[in-house]
Structure 1
């Protein structure tokens, strides 16, 4: 989080302490936008000077939520990685007398000819092992994959290892990941960009005398973005003009002006994939050093409902309470308790006396004959 945002912490902390609840705090913030800004104003034509196009304000709120939700998920993953690394270090060293065999997998893509299988003795010195006929198909398989076209999102192991071992690249991406405006993206000379699996946000710097939308021209095409602004003399100058590496949904993409600061462009990706750059002319990032997790809001309603149910059941188990499925079973048993023909009719409901499996077969405890509902 940037220091500029932290400067408002004391004021915001005072508000939330006074209100006492997150919901009331959000009501204060959004109420301010309603009373004192044109945030909720909808533009009915291009000539309107106030407000946003339909749906833009809501998408801005959702993007802000997703940005900090992604940061939270990343913090959790970093803590988990640190714990796993500590545990791995405790058990990483094998016993001194153990012989470790290093072999090449048949589905590994190699950029050079494979070497024979080797063994390491207890002193750590490699001992060559004679190759046999079984190793030949392995070498042929590795050789045949060298002519395939490389996948930028799935580089060969040699390149992947080089990326992971590049301290300069890792340091750069760490700085980018710490900035919400370049999260999963990068900071360039006059713009920054961030991304999720479904969209890209670009923030292009503008002079502080640009305060109106008519002083900016933004042209968004399927694979190209062009941004210009007026100069002091009234002429136009380009600040961004380049090709995108992948196609976007032009109709679903939009831009807004933050006066005196930047032009914010939101691009919806046509394909769900991670971009190595936002413009083909810029330096590429390593997609293996970004946060590739997907927020739950990106999933469909059915998937979200299942995840929420799993989280609820896990919480119920920790509290020693029945899960959602167990609650359904108890509800069915309660309805059948006083049904006609029930041996428990007229008695207080006691779930410990009966059990019901997933097939709907009810067994009376201490009884041999099960009954079917």
Structure 2
């Protein structure tokens, strides 16, 4: 009986979960707003931008992009970003540029980080920064269609499993096991499966 309740949450449970999600999102947004940079990601890469005083030139910057760490600073000042990545990057495919911004007038450093693992969302740019909840990321369909077949299938499976988990349903692997067990039961009616455990 209790299993049915878990799979069919009441309107009050759904409202409570939605309220908790909104509070978590507001907290997450506030934490991210405190960072000296802004960042976005796709399944393939991470884009980081940070405002820089307009009198600064590229040679005044100290930028280090390594496989597992980053440092972005104006020479002689505290770093804007420094620390270890949560996952490795492809250094040769990653880059940075310093551009003039019209509004507000000034400059901005843009850092492009190419992920090694193209099926992993990053919870933060550096491990010392506050995390975002990667389970709430919904990639655009256009980004999914850019992926090659096996990668796209894996991402779609991960998204399906995440949705099933949120609704209290079985993951695709659990469904496959149940289907195999049903098929085996049909082929072997003489066997007793009453105490069979899924695992």
Give the TM-score category using the shorter length.
Answer: 0.5 to 0.7
Separation in 1 of the partners of 2:133 and 2:116? 21
**1:252-285 Cα deviation digits (max 9, x unpaired):** 1011111333210000111121111111011111
**1:27-58 Cα deviation digits (max 9, x unpaired):** xxxxxxxxxxxxxxxxxxxxxxxxxxxxxxxx
Q: 2:68 aligns with which of 223, 226, 235?
A: 223
Other-structure match for 2:50? 204
Separation in 1 of the partners of 2:99 and 2:140? 29
Q: SS of 2:81's equivalent?
A: strand
Contact 2:85–2:125 (CA under 8 A) maintained in structure 1: yes
Q: Which of 1 and 2 has greater Rg? A: 1
Q: SS of 2:24's equivalent?
A: helix
For structure 1, the 5+ residue unaligned runs are 1-100, 109-160, 177-185, 304-373
Task: Show the 5 A alignment for 1:261-280.
Answer: 261-271=107-117, 272-280=119-127
Cα distance, 1:240 vs. partner? 1.6
TM-score by length of 2: 0.56
Q: 1:214 to 1:277 in 2, by over 3 A?
A: same
Q: 1:286 aligns with which of 133, 147, 153?
A: 133
Task: Show the 5 A alignment for 1:42-57.
Answer: none
**1:338-373 Cα deviation digits (max 9, x unpaired):** xxxxxxxxxxxxxxxxxxxxxxxxxxxxxxxxxxxx
User: RMSD across aligned C-alpha pairs, in angstroms?
Assistant: 3.2
Q: Point out 4+ residue stretches in structure 1 off by more than 6 angstroms.
A: 161-164
Task: Show the 5 A alignment for 1:101-120.
Answer: 101-103=1-3
Other-structure match for 1:298? 146
For structure 2, the 5+ residue unaligned runs are 7-15, 101-105, 152-199
Q: Name the one with the larger strand percent.
A: 2
Separation in 2 of the partners of 1:163 and 1:202? 29
The question of 1:170 aligning with 2:25 is answered: yes
Other-structure match for 1:253? 94
Other-structure match for 2:169? none
Q: SS of 1:197's equivalent?
A: coil
Q: Which has the higher contact order (CA 8 A, sep 6+)?
A: 2
Tell me how many residue pairs correspond in the alignment: 133
Separation in 2 of the partners of 1:239 and 1:164? 34
